[in-house]
Amino acid sequence: MSKVLPVALCALLLAACGGDDDDTPPPPPSAVNSAPAPTQPAAPSGQVMVTVTANSTPPGAMVTGGGRQLGTTPLTTQVPIPAPQPGQVQTFAFNFALAGYQPATVNASPTNNQITITAALAPLAGAVPTPVGGDPTGDDGEPSNGGPELRVSGRGGGPIFDNHTTTGTASVGQACTIDSLRVRLVGNHSYYGDLHITLTDPQGHSYSLARGGRQNPFRTHRVRRAAGRQAQGTWRLAIADRLAQDSGILRSWAMTFTCR
């Protein structure tokens, strides 16, 4: 018998049954197993989100727009606005307010869902503006009774953020019966209403410097209830941020005592 027949028969059987050397690529993975693409949070129905960047000279002004406080300059935040109609140009008013300066209003329209505004604030006639930054041991302009002064720089501070208490300490090394006490805080925060600020003396007496509200707490505070008490020892400062979304920083702080 010819040897060609078995070889041909073997090739025929391999073609029918398939082999192990198939080079066909595997099918692509099923779309069911692929991870879904992340989605961005949507604005409320009928509105779009606009990024607002605001600055002022000097900084530290409270910016109000659309009936809500956006924070203090410099700031960047997102706010919802009504979705514009085709061909409509929207204009929004932003108010800047800073103690000792004339209020200012800046009108602006969004471009590519962004608004950038800057206000130059003019001092009020005859007013002494509240300092922003500068020397942490600066005076607040209130007269003292002429006794010896003792100035102490505080330690600590740093970032102020949600549901957190930023602390600092200051040590007074000599005896001093307090006639007057001034506490200077240097920093900023995008929403003052978040902040509750407490100073505690070495004997454990606490003095509230801020309990929320709209007034800028980063200024000089006169602590009248400390009069007659002893300054020597360790003082403690606590800045509690009790609300969400806004943040800031305590750059430095100091105390100025007038002793009896």
Parse the chain into domains and list their residue ranges: 47-120, 149-259
User: Residue 189: helix, strand or coil by DSSP?
Assistant: strand
**Where residue 43 falls among pLDDT bands split at 50, 70, 90?**
low
For 176-202, the pLDDT digits (tens) are 999 999 999 999 999 999 999 999 999
Tell me what the mean pLDDT of segment 85-110 comes to. 86
Radius of gyration over every alpha carbon of the chain, rounded to an integer in angstroms: 33
Strands 233-241 and 195-200, by their bridges, are antiparallel
| CB contact at 8 A, 172 and 233 | yes
Q: Which percentage of the chain shows pLDDT scores above 70?
A: 74
Per-residue pLDDT, 145? 55
Does the structure show a pLDDT above 50 at 128? no
Cα–Cα distance measured from residue 108 to residue 101, given in angstroms and rounded to the nearest whole number = 22
Cut 0.85: pTM above it: no
Cα–Cα distance measured from residue 196 to residue 29, given in angstroms and rounded to the nearest whole number = 56
**What does CATH list as the number for 47-120?**
2.60.40
- Taking all residues of the chain, what is their mean pLDDT, rounded to a whole number? 79
User: Residue 1: helix, strand or coil by DSSP?
Assistant: coil
| Pair of tokens at residue 182 | 């001034």
Q: Does domain 149-259 bear CATH number 3.30.450.20?
A: no
The secondary element (H helix, E strand) that includes residue 114 is strand 114-120
Cα–Cα distance measured from residue 250 to residue 238, given in angstroms and rounded to the nearest whole number = 11
